[in-house]
Structure 1
Amino acid sequence: MKVLVTGGAGFIGSHIVDRLLEKGHQPVVLDNLSTGDEGYLHPEVPFYRMDVQSEAVDEVFRKEKPDAVIHQAAQSQVPRSIEAPIEDAQTNLLGTIRLLEGCRHHGAKKFIYASSAAVYGNPQDLPIDEEHPVSPLSPYGISKLTPERYIRVYQELYGLTYTIFRYANVYGIRQVPHGEGAVISIFVDRLLHDRPLTIFGDGKQTRDYIYVDDIARANVAALDRGDGETLNIGTGVRTSLNDLVETVESITGRKIEVEYGPDRPGDIKHSYFKIDRALKYLDWSPLTSLEQGLSRTLSYYGVKVK
């Protein structure tokens, strides 16, 4: 199957491309390299350097005629979305519509979309399931939620099959130390530079951390599963920031200096997913424990582990 991967030179997208190649698919990469890295690109994979909202996207569809699209490209920084909401919407909303139009006009049959836990806002119940009310707290959350509605309408109007993923906090190799959910990458960066870790609040706030390989596996599984579904992709396990620090200390055998600061306005205290629907509809489950994922990530970046 030929699959167009937007953001395919980036953190998550490059791992999806790796997985597609392993499974015998034909990936095509579209990425503007704003956060991606040309070093992650495979020489045998066609690459188009452009923004997803560019009119030239239609020519990529016309030339490559992909069977499916895995849409990972995004403006992913919540503060940036607040500072520049128009730019955020152009990338996340208009860029997605541009891709949907490419599918409509050139015959792609499946659209797999990376949404976010940010669409839920402040959780009313835990764990968060897919029926939880959506109430974004930032322009970023809005710009990830609104395309979900467009995608469903494109199925109704044009028969475009879809799977929507709402990601928990993704971490792992190739992640840049900024953007939504990048706390582990920030921790690694500070360890490499022997700088103390900064935690806002008491460190008891919890998140659901999922390793990037498990995210890649879910995306490839969705090529022929999960049609018409919106699925939480996480581990179903909640981990506090203090637990995260203790786990890193256990893996590295070194004491980590932590500086605690005031709570940040608007930060959610607790968030983790219920993932039963993903287990059912994808025939998928997260395989990488936090300890395993952290150990791989730290080792990759040259942090000594036990």
Structure 2
Amino acid sequence: MKVLVTGGAGFIGSHVVNKLIRQGCRVTVADNLSTGSVNNLNQAAAFVQMDIRNPEILQLFESERFDAIVHLAAQTMVPKSLENPVYDSDVNIAGTLQILEAARKTGVKRVVFSSTAAVYGNTAAVPVREETALQPASFYGLSKWAVERYLALYQELYGLEYVVLRYANVYGERQGDFGEGGVISIFVRNICGGRPVTIFGDGGQTRDFVYAGDVAAANWLALGTTAKNSIYNIGTQTESSVNLLVEELAVISGKTVEKQYKSVREGDIYRSSLCNEKAVENLHWSPQTLLRDGLARTYASLTGVEHGCAT
């Protein structure tokens, strides 16, 4: 299978690329390197440095004739979407439309799209199911929801298959400070530097932390599933508080951690956990990595040591 991975030099994208190559796919990565890094690239993948908003991306599609697209390239920061909703829309909606039009014009069979738990917003029903009414509390969540609707209409009008994966908070090796799971790398860096960690709110807010390797497996399964043209939550179905996250990192690092609490950030939701029953049943996917094990791997990758902090 010939697959284009947009954002494949990024944190999650690099895990997906590695998984697809291990499964025998011929992978091309398109990434503008705004948040990704050439150091994340798998040497077995072809690489094109290009922004998804560039109309010339059609030429890449015409020359390569991809079978499928895994679309991860996006603006993923909730605060940035609130500060600059025009930019958020330009990347996440207009950029995706460049991809969808190129896919339509060149006979791509399927698009696997990386969406987010942010489409749900604040909801009392946790864990959240796919059929829950969507009430995004940020322009980031809204832009991802808009793309989901575009995909459904492209399928109806043009027959372009899609699978939407709504990620919980993804973490793992090669993680930066960006996106929904970036708090982990920020916490690790502060802990290793002997600095306090900043918690916005009371620390009781929960997130569903899912390991990047498990997310990569979901993308691989989405490429081949017969349960297509559907939406799946990709999470652990477990709520973990920010306070618990700090405690786990303290155990892993062997450090005493000072916590500083600040006001809640606009657009942040309080409770988040995704019901994954639909993915388990239809994609035959389930998370394989326990939080402490995944955090230990992430910690080691960020600090360069298995135990104790890097000097």
TM-score by length of 1: 0.97
Cα distance in 2 between the residues matched to 1:8 and 1:171: 16
Q: Is the 8 A contact 2:167 2:233 kept in 1?
A: yes
Partner of residue 20, structure 1 = 20
Partner of residue 44, structure 2 = 44
Asked if 1:141 is matched to 2:141, the reply is yes
Q: Is the 8 A contact 1:75 1:91 kept in 2?
A: yes
Partner of residue 248, structure 2 = 247
The Cα of 1:194 is off from its aligned counterpart by 2.2
Bigger mean CA deviation after superposition, 177-186 or 216-225: 177-186
Partner of residue 305, structure 1 = 307
Asked if 1:256 is matched to 2:257, the reply is yes
Partner of residue 233, structure 2 = 232
Map Cα deviations across residues 249-285 of structure 1 (whole Å, 9 max, x no partner).
2222221111122333443211111100010111111
Cα distance in 2 between the residues matched to 1:21 and 1:260: 43
Partner of residue 275, structure 2 = 274
Asked if 1:289 is matched to 2:290, the reply is yes
* Alpha-carbon RMSD: 1.3
Q: Is the 8 A contact 2:137 2:268 kept in 1?
A: no
Cα distance in 1 between the residues matched to 2:196 and 2:131: 39
SS of equivalent residue, structure 1 residue 222: helix
Stretches of structure 2 that go unaligned for 5 or more consecutive residues are none
Cα distance in 1 between the residues matched to 2:262 and 2:191: 18
Cα distance in 2 between the residues matched to 1:244 and 1:43: 34
C-alpha distance 244-235 of structure 1, shift in aligned 2 (>3 A): same
Q: How does 1:103-252 map to 2 (within 5 A)?
A: 103-225=103-225, 226-252=227-253
C-alpha distance 21-184 of structure 1, shift in aligned 2 (>3 A): same
Q: Is the 8 A contact 2:138 2:267 kept in 1?
A: no
Cα distance in 1 between the residues matched to 2:267 and 2:36: 28
User: Aligned partner of 1:247: which letter?
Assistant: E
Cα distance in 1 between the residues matched to 2:152 and 2:267: 30
Partner of residue 77, structure 1 = 77
SS of equivalent residue, structure 2 residue 218: helix
The Cα of 1:13 is off from its aligned counterpart by 0.5
Q: Is the 8 A contact 2:208 2:274 kept in 1?
A: yes
SS of equivalent residue, structure 1 residue 274: coil
Identity of aligned residues (%): 47
User: Aligned partner of 2:272: which letter?
Assistant: S
Q: Is the 8 A contact 1:172 1:185 kept in 2?
A: no
Stretches of structure 1 that go unaligned for 5 or more consecutive residues are none
Bigger mean CA deviation after superposition, 183-192 or 227-236: 183-192
Map Cα deviations across residues 105-142 of structure 1 (whole Å, 9 max, x no partner).
11110100001111111113111000111111111111
Map Cα deviations across residues 216-241 of structure 1 (whole Å, 9 max, x no partner).
00001111113111011000011011
SS of equivalent residue, structure 2 residue 224: coil
Count residues with an aligned counterpart: 306
The Cα of 1:43 is off from its aligned counterpart by 3.1
SS of equivalent residue, structure 1 residue 33: coil
Map Cα deviations across residues 61-105 of structure 1 (whole Å, 9 max, x no partner).
001111000000001111111222111111100111111111111
User: Aligned partner of 2:40: which letter?
Assistant: Y
C-alpha distance 87-266 of structure 1, shift in aligned 2 (>3 A): closer
Q: Is the 8 A contact 1:177 1:189 kept in 2?
A: no
Cα distance in 1 between the residues matched to 2:228 and 2:128: 21
Cα distance in 1 between the residues matched to 2:237 and 2:43: 37
